A and B are shown apart, each in its own frame.
Chain A
């Protein structure tokens, strides 16, 4: 099934600035896709439209055979909660919550915190954070925070992971660890991973690269 975008256009502001110009792309289930290109070419905008966080100005987005425009806000949020995980460049952890609480936040939305706790602990353990389970984000390094964010994205067992410059704020060692985790989950769990990067080394890890320039796929 996967995600299918048809003739996507996106423009911002007045007068409108066109950011995406007629994008057609399909991401199949289990793919490991990198969106690459220079700054301002529309990579992040494409990622957010693929992930339903943003809506196109025109064109259609179809996820698992359903048109997003036909889904109500509750369905979209439910789908996001159960089937999607997000990782951002700036971690976006909740600073007043501990590592385990941050990881369980998506589960808390569905009152599934108890059921998902074992999975959360397993992920934290796998990510080498088992001794920091009760620490606050402020007590972790940047690499550790990003691993917590990935664990949070994975805790519900999503079908899709969307990552916007997940290594952009990390040193190369931590960047390697993060990409290694993505690769592993893609291979072991068949999680579809779509990430934006401008780092050619990390982009080369993907099974497919979508190259963008000036709002178009090239």
Chain B
């Protein structure tokens, strides 16, 4: 039946070509749009996953609600109605029992590495200029195992922070904002605490503006000393062997203690929901294109069935079964789908390459100087399968209708 299906398609060159073009363009659009969106998404996810931890354990957050203090003041059996209900937040700036967490993490089989951190809001003083920043106290070897920070160092080595000695690495945009230079000393203070000198030993560029102009990394012991909180940590950053387990692991650990445990995707829920919306838009758009192409196939095969009624009658009289006739027309749809899907994937690849060469930013980060385009094989496979599926579905109805035609009805209508 392949032989006859191909001949049928070639006998209607213009219709076949137009339908094929529809499928090619639909598939190419899917590949190019998916490449662009997924390229952007994978870059952002890479930033979120690799610049931070897979799972973050941070100090407890406890919000005071209207009735959360009833029991403390009036006992369990009194129904309290507050004229001015209490509100507020009582949280600890520190993890209360970090030793218990680190002991547990050291034994967890899916934990690749973890790093204790103390995050403080600091005031930077350089001469008369003052600026606020986040000072993250880390043990540099641990931190390098948990994140890819070393990869994003633009000057110096992350491990130059050492384990003490007031050395820091800062975001390159913050350095620019301060007008400072590497190896210069700046002054940091926490709240009303005294200012202490810290030497800039390196800079990093994560490609996320908010982080590059506000983050500073220093040795954990130095940051603890600056805040007058020796031995305390506010966060534990955890890297897992499998990032896809992050959400499940975070949910499980959340039940273990009072600390807040969040996976990277839970922490960036807003961004992830934008991605979900993008995916919906992308798939809806592609589906619309393929539905149009599908209608093209439906139309061309529907017309073919009408035009080929005599041939159907003679094939049936020769002993061809109804399913042979269905196959004959279904194959035509599938040939269009396979050819259109294949050629569309190639065209999409070409368009993606052109897009990948478009300059979008002179700065490093955001995928470098060019548009981030994903060339994942799964995009091409999905594009091809969508074209194939659209063709199979839209070819099925006319093919089934052709299979149902009986030779005698056709002969009677032809001669009548």
List residues of chain A with CB under 8 Å of any chain B CB.
44, 48, 51, 53-54, 73-74, 77-82, 84, 86, 88-90, 92-97, 105-106, 108-109, 152, 164
Contact = CB atoms under 8 A, between A and B. Distances in A.
A53 B7 contact: no
Range, interface on chain B:
20 to 34
Contact of B7 (A48, A84, A88, A96): A96
B319 A48 contact: no
Contacts of A73: 321-322
Most B-side CB within 10 Å, residue of A84, A90, A164: A90
Contacts of A77: 319-321
B408 A92 contact: no
Contacts of B311: 92, 94-95
A53 B317 contact: yes
B320 A96 contact: no
Nearest to B414: A90
A86 B314 contact: yes
Q: DSSP class of B's interface residues: helix, strand, loop or mixed?
A: helix
Nearest to B313: A92
A171 B415 CA distance: 19
Interface in B309-349: 310-311, 313-322, 324
Contacts of A96: 7-8, 10-11
Nearest to A102: B314
A208 to B, nearest CB: 24
Most A-side CB within 10 Å, residue of B11, B314, B315, B407: B314
A106 B408 contact: no
A73 B325 CA distance: 14
Interface string B1-41: 00110011011000000000000000000000000000000
A9 B322 CA distance: 26
B119 to A, nearest CB: 75
A77 B10 CA distance: 28
Contacts of A92: 310-311, 313-314
A109 B319 contact: yes
Contacts of B322: 73
A135 to B, nearest CB: 15
B310 A80 contact: no
Contacts of B3: 108
A80 B319 CA distance: 5
B164 to A, nearest CB: 84
B317 A86 contact: yes
B411 interface: yes
User: Sorted from nearest, which 3 A-B pairs have the closest CB atoms?
Assistant: A81-B319, A92-B314, A96-B11
Given A89-B415, A90-B414, A80 B318 contact: yes
Nearest to B314: A92
B397 to A, nearest CB: 22
A88 B10 contact: no
A84 B317 CA distance: 9
B11 A48 contact: no
Nearest to A108: B3
A54 B8 CA distance: 27
A35 to B, nearest CB: 15
Contacts of A89: 415
B272 to A, nearest CB: 54
B301 to A, nearest CB: 15
Contact of A54 (B11, B315, B408, B415): B408
A82 B318 CA distance: 9
A94 B320 contact: no
A21 B320 CA distance: 30
Nearest to B1: A108
Given A77-B319, A81-B319, A109-B324, A94 B314 contact: yes
A89 B314 CA distance: 12
A48 B408 contact: yes
A84 B322 CA distance: 18
Contacts of A80: 317-319
Given A80-B319, A90-B415, 4 more contacts: A73-B321, A77-B321, A84-B319, A109-B320
Nearest to B319: A81
A56 B319 CA distance: 19
Nearest to B311: A94
Contact of A88 (B314, B315, B321): B314
A106 B319 contact: yes
A95 B309 CA distance: 12
30 contacts: A48-B408, A51-B317, A53-B407, A54-B408, A73-B322, A74-B321, A77-B321, A79-B319, A80-B317, A81-B320, A82-B319, A84-B317, A86-B314, A86-B317, A86-B318, A88-B411, A90-B415, A92-B310, A92-B314, A94-B311, A94-B314, A95-B11, A95-B311, A96-B8, A97-B7, A105-B315, A106-B319, A109-B320, A109-B324, A152-B318
